[in-house]
Amino acid sequence: MTAFDILAALPTPVLVGIGGTLGALARYGVDLALSGGRRSTLAVNVLGSIALGALVAAPISSTAATVFGTGFCGAFTTFSSFAVSVAEDASDGQRWRAVQYAVGTLLAALVGVALGGGVVGML
């Protein structure tokens, strides 16, 4: 029995928890490396989008999709921090900055999904 067979036998919430733990630790590492703030939020959202695009395009098992897609990418990325930054800018009267950050992040994330999926699709 392999380690992956053992993982596949675990209940879904445990699989999500394992991936989520790894994703949260990775996000913390990015926050430390980039000193937190918007750059960290943008980085994890774009990197997570690339990873999720690659996962969707890859021929992986449902167990791997649960651990890495739902768990890891779900904990690694952060829509809430992104939304708070946009809302704070808008409420502070910096509407143009809010629009730039919102549109820029969403476009970068969509490009990331396409890039991740495209790279895996070429393999």
Global pTM?
A: 0.91
Residue 74 among known ligand-binding residues: yes
How is the chain classified by DSSP, letter by letter?
--HHHHHHTS-HHHHHHHHHHHHHHHHHHHHHHHTSHHHHHHHHHHHHHHHHHHHHHS---HHHIIIIIIIIIHHH--HHHHHHHHHHHHHTT-HHHHHHHHHHHHHHHHHHHHHHHHHHHH-
Mean pLDDT by 10 residues, the chain (123 residues): 84 96 98 95 97 96 95 96 96 97 97 96 82
Residue 12 among known ligand-binding residues: no
Tell me what pLDDT residue 35 has.
95
Query: Domain extents for the chain?
Result: 11-117
